[in-house]
Amino acid sequence: MHEFSIVTALLEMCEKNAKENNATKITKVEIKIGKLSGVEPYLLETAFDTFKEDGICAGCEFIVHLQEIVVHCESCHTEATLTQNEFVCPTCKSTDLRVIDGEEMYLMHLEME
């Protein structure tokens, strides 16, 4: 379960940001997870809730935004959001697509005191 190592890295990033901003507590962590990231949101939330209690994020709110798959069609130059994992352009039905969002995980927002 790689969610544990992801949470460890996320908590380290939170602590680093808090130190850089002279904060003593983080009250909210907000992330965005792409559907193609390979990260299971529920397992990530569970791991975060387990590990946050030992550090600067103790008691903080953890918000996860799930990012849909956004593609650019190289044939008709349309940008579209896919509702299913069918990599076909909804406009021209081409399969010559480039994923432009939905593959990564980002730390979007931190609230600190």
pTM of the model: 0.83
pLDDT tens digits for 79-109? 999 988 889 999 999 999 999 999 999 999 9
73 is in an annotated binding site: yes
Q: Where are the beta strands (DSSP E) in the chain?
A: 26-34, 61-67, 69-73, 79-82, 97-101, 105-112
pLDDT tens digits for 17-44? 999 999 999 999 999 999 999 999 999 9
92 is in an annotated binding site: yes
76 is in an annotated binding site: yes
| Domains, the chain, with CATH or none | 3-68+102-112 (3.30.2320.50)
